[in-house]
Structure 1
Amino acid sequence: MEVGSAQPYFFGDIGCWSERTEVHKAASLGQASELRELIQSGASVNMVAVDSITPLHEACVRGQAQCVRLLLDAGAQVDARNVDGSTPLCDACSAGSLECVRLLLQHGAKTNPALTSRTASPLHEACMGGNSDCVKLLITMGASLESYDLYYGTPLHVACVNKHLDCVKVLLNAGAKVNATRLHETPLHHAAKNMRVEMIKTLVEFGANVYARDQQDRKPADYTTPGSSSAACLQLYETTPMSLQQLCRLAVRRKLGTRALKVIGQLEIPKLLIEYLCYQ
């Protein structure tokens, strides 16, 4: 069967995909009936376009869950990489399609694919788009909280850069390192640059160092506008010592690390203390 498309296809600045097939097109457009017919007629679900993009990549980047299911059931390679090294799971996380993410994970997609100089992890992609439900699912499936992207740093850096407080809270509660650095820049530096008061408060409550210096020898407060709410918030934290109660919570959380939520819930202590330790 002839499955190739004679018409060129343009996608952003990538250029012409002369090898893009009808399977790619159906997957991208969510044409499940057409895709099913192509598969039943013997069309390959693993044909790659010029940039090593498979039909599964196309379906995931568009959040076409029904097509993703058809492709996976037909034997699509779940961890295929495109020219940039991204897997379908990366694309599904970027699109914020929780259903696609679930399907890929059920078919064995790697939550922690090896990173390259041009690749972010699925968790980075989910944080970039502010897709907190995808973030929760990936963490449940063992996604690395400290995977490192050369451009942004850790997923927590990415969430702060892109102003996604919900993702920040999910990552911190799961045990992400609040003072992780990229070129000495911490997540708190990014929250301060973006003037996000609630994000600043959340990070500091989880132990962010308000005195941390970046490569320019600047503290987070140095990136705020004088007289702003963010500046006042950081100034208060710099001049007011943490209470013994706060220090104890941080010590417990630091000791337990990524096991904190699971272990704290099993402690034979009052519910009020459990809620405090879990930042509820």
Structure 2
Amino acid sequence: GRSRAGTFWADRTPVHEAARRGEIRQLQQLIESGACVNALTYDSITPLHEASLRGQAQCVKMLLDAGAQVDARNIDGSTPLCDACASGSVECVRLLLAHGAKVNPPLYTASPLHEACMNGSSECVQLLIDVGANLEAHDCHFGTPLHVACARQHLRCAKLLLQAGAQVNAAKLHETALHHAAKARCAALVRLLVEFGADVNARDNRGRKPSDYSGNGGAAARCFQFYERTPLSLAQLCRLAVRRAAGQRGQHKISKLQIPPRLIRFLSYD
């Protein structure tokens, strides 16, 4: 990498290059000849960051086995797990978690769960939820992971977060996920959020309701017209009340209630 012009490339090592390109034999030879697996670029990027961001699972494994720091921070504060989630590589995410990567690293930036939601990788989202990712992790720019999933119109990711107990009315500058769904004019997202208890009358910092952003006509606008004049059914209100009583930590207990399976499916939005 040293022959390339510009400072960005000047400090990259052959280990960085091999990890980025997924050159397994080359990487093996470098490790065996004693090359440093924790070498940093000017931006504090390690070879493990490179391999994770490109979804190079075999390289990730080799680097970890050779002593790569699993929670190394780059200049933005991102860890390799953040990068693996950004790439949507479930295999890399599994490897990093198995080597003790923190699912909730103390970041000022987007968490691994934010990154998975941005990428729309529902499998990564579920994996992170299963190992205890903070559903309310707050990024000053993006808000919560639910805000990200809705802004990017990743319906499956949004549903997984909500089923796991994410706060549907969490606000970022008073803007809720429903405001994002309205701006995206995505009727399916609007329906999903309202079924999980989203407030159609929530006001953002400009005093506007979600429907103010849904345009004239179109399926999303029609959804809002219906929801603004039609209250939720008693069955839906009961479902929300039960889930609220269970709390985020108790969502998994709903499946163990001594009630008919059909009711459990209803309560779990299954």
Length-normalised TM-score, structure 1: 0.94
| Residue of structure 2 equivalent to 1:215 | 205
Distance 1:68 1:82 in 2: 16
Distance 2:117 2:267 in 1: 24
| Residue of structure 1 equivalent to 2:164 | 174
Structure 1 residues 87-138: Cα deviation after superposition (integer angstroms, max 9, x where no partner)? 000000000000000000000000111122xx21000000001011000001
Structure 1 residues 159-202: Cα deviation after superposition (integer angstroms, max 9, x where no partner)? 00111001000000000000000000000000000000000000
Distance 1:25 1:9 in 2: 15
| Residue of structure 1 equivalent to 2:3 | 7
| Residue of structure 1 equivalent to 2:69 | 77
| Residue of structure 1 equivalent to 2:30 | 38
Contact persistence 1:61–1:88 (CA under 8 A): yes
Amino acid at match of 1:271: P
Contact persistence 1:9–1:20 (CA under 8 A): no
Q: CA deviation at 1:261?
A: 3.7
1:95 aligns with 2:87: yes
Distance 1:232 1:9 in 2: 55
Distance 2:129 2:87 in 1: 17
Contact persistence 2:88–2:119 (CA under 8 A): yes
With over 3 angstroms needed to count, the CA separation of the structure-2 counterparts of 1:74 and 1:128, relative to structure 1, is same
| Residue of structure 2 equivalent to 1:21 | 13
Amino acid at match of 1:54: T
Amino acid at match of 1:235: Q
Distance 1:266 1:120 in 2: 34
| Residue of structure 2 equivalent to 1:129 | 119
Contact persistence 1:78–1:107 (CA under 8 A): yes
Amino acid at match of 1:67: C
Amino acid at match of 1:97: S
| Residue of structure 1 equivalent to 2:217 | 227
Distance 2:186 2:11 in 1: 46
Give ranges in structure 1 of 5+ residues lacking alignment. Answer: none
With over 3 angstroms needed to count, the CA separation of the structure-2 counterparts of 1:107 and 1:129, relative to structure 1, is same
Distance 2:177 2:51 in 1: 33
Amino acid at match of 1:196: C
Q: CA RMSD in A?
A: 1.1
Q: CA deviation at 1:229?
A: 1.2
Contact persistence 1:17–1:50 (CA under 8 A): no
1:135 aligned counterpart, secondary structure: helix
1:107 aligns with 2:103: no
Length-normalised TM-score, structure 2: 0.98
1:188 aligned counterpart, secondary structure: helix
| Residue of structure 1 equivalent to 2:229 | 239
Segments of 4+ moved more than 6 angstroms: none
1:157 aligns with 2:140: no
Calculate percent identity across the aligned residue pairs: 61
Contact persistence 2:88–2:121 (CA under 8 A): yes
Contact persistence 2:2–2:9 (CA under 8 A): no
| Residues 260-275 of structure 1: pairs in structure 2 closer than 5 A | 260-275=250-265
Distance 1:213 1:254 in 2: 22
Count of residue pairs the alignment pairs up = 270
Distance 2:156 2:5 in 1: 37
Amino acid at match of 2:101: A
Q: CA deviation at 1:9?
A: 6.4
Q: CA deviation at 1:27?
A: 0.3
Contact persistence 1:174–1:260 (CA under 8 A): no
Give ranges in structure 2 of 5+ residues lacking alignment. Answer: none
2:113 aligned counterpart, secondary structure: helix
Between Structure 1 and Structure 2, the one with more helix by share is: 2
2:117 aligned counterpart, secondary structure: helix
